[in-house]
Amino acid sequence: MENTINELKSLLIDVPVRFASIPSNVVSVKPAPDKWSKKEILGHLCDSAVNNLSRFIRAQFENEPMNIIRYEQNEWVKLNGYKDKPVTEIIEFWKCLNNQLVYVASRIPEEKLGFKCDKGDGETLTLQELAEDYIVHMKHHLAQIFND
Low-confidence ranges of the chain (pLDDT < 70): 148
Answer for the pair 51, 67: CB distance below 8 angstroms, yes or no.
no
User: Tell me, what's the pLDDT at 137?
Assistant: 97
Domains located in the chain, CATH noted = 2-17+37-146 (1.20.120.450)
Comparing C-alpha atoms, which of 148, 146, 147 is closest to residue 18? 146
Q: Is the pTM of this model over 0.85?
A: yes
Q: How far apart are CA 89 and CA 130, in angstroms?
A: 27
Rounded CA separation 92/108 (Å): 25
pLDDT of residue 148: 62
User: What is the model's pLDDT at position 120?
Assistant: 84
DSSP string covering 28-76: T--SSTTS--HHHHHHHHHHHHHHHHHHHHHTTTSPSSEEPPP--HHHH
